[in-house]
Structure 1
Amino acid sequence: MDSVGFTAPPQDGTDRTADIPAGPDVGMPAELALLRNEVKTLRRALASRANIDMALGVLMAVYQCTPTDAWLILVDVSQHTHVTLHDLAERVTASTHGPAPSKPVRDALRASAARHAAARHGSPGPAPDASS
């Protein structure tokens, strides 16, 4: 399950819909509540995904990196700054038309981008920052 409560479909081909109670035993109100909750969760996941995709584009433009590196940078900074991926993506995209993210987040983004660029080019990259 990801940060917005979305669980990816199983890779083994099993049908997860079998876990959802349905039919006369559950009743329409209970089934309707389950479906409404699922729709709410899927909408939140879609909105979050769109924001994350925009943040990836910003990182790719700013740091001239690949989509994979942009994803790794976003995940790395999220983990090291204890900011959820969704919140970090919002901060990155908001910085295109408002204030920049906080200095610790900007520093973490730069350091992570430098590490991933160095790894892509086969050099060891900068030493980790002791203040992190």
Structure 2
Amino acid sequence: MHRTTMLPGDWWDLTAETSAEDPAGEDVVALRAEVHQLRRALAGSAVIDQACGMVMVLAPCRRGPAKNLLVDMSRQCHTSLPEVAAAVVAAWEGEPLSRLMQRALRRALRRFYAEDRGCDSPPADEPTGRGRP
């Protein structure tokens, strides 16, 4: 026998009340909180992946450096990574980035390109500036 249970579309938003004598009710509340947290994490992961793809196209690089660039922006703006990723995706779709995020993006790109060119040390054909070739 096969049974199908239909749940309302907003079933995870429902709140559960439990009495102190009902440990199963506490489990339900804890599980709903965990499901909510997992749903938010999955949604954040999807937008981060999308923003990484955009960075990979704009600044030809692999996924790791693209994500590092977004993390760098996130740290500079004191904003969560999913929020920065959502702003980048929105900018791709025509919504302007805030001034703070624009500055953070410029700094992160400068750092990215400096690391890419190996700017930590001068090129071999340039003098070091210390009187030695």
- Aligned counterpart in structure 2 of residue 101 of structure 1, from 94, 97, 101: 97
Q: CA RMSD in A?
A: 2.0
Deviations 1:61-109 (A, max 9, x none): 1122221111111111111122221211110001121222123312321
Aligned 8 A contact 1:92 1:101 in 2: yes
TM-score between the two structures when normalised by the length of structure 1 = 0.68
In the other structure, the counterpart of 2:45 is 49
Uncovered stretches (5+) of structure 1, i.e. residues with no partner: 1-24, 126-132
Structure 1 partner of 2:75: 79
| Aligned-partner Cα distance in 2 for 1:34–1:105 | 36
Distance between the aligned counterparts of 2:120 and 2:98, measured in 1? 27
**What displacement does 1:55 show?**
0.9
Q: Which amino acid aligns with 1:54?
A: Q
Return 5+ residue gaps in structure 2 as ranges. Answer: 1-20, 122-133
Return the alpha-carbon distance in structure 1 between the equivalents of residues 67 and 22 of structure 2. 42
The alignment-based identity, stated in percent, is: 35
What is the rounded CA distance, in whole Å, between the counterparts of 2:60 and 2:102 in structure 1?
A: 16
Partner of 1:18 in structure 2? none
Cα separation, 1, equivalents of 2:85 and 2:24: 38
Deviates more, 1:106-115 or 1:67-76: 106-115
The normalised TM-score by structure 2 is: 0.67
Change (3 A) 1:59 1:76: same
- Matches of 1:49 and 1:27, distance apart in 2: 33
Counterpart of 2:23 in structure 1 is 27
Larger radius of gyration: 2
Structure 2 distance, partners of 1:61, 1:69, is: 12
Displacement of 1:26 in angstroms is 6.4
Aligned pairs, number: 101
Report the Cα distance in structure 2 between the residues aligned to 1:55 and 1:106, rounded to whole angstroms.
Answer: 15
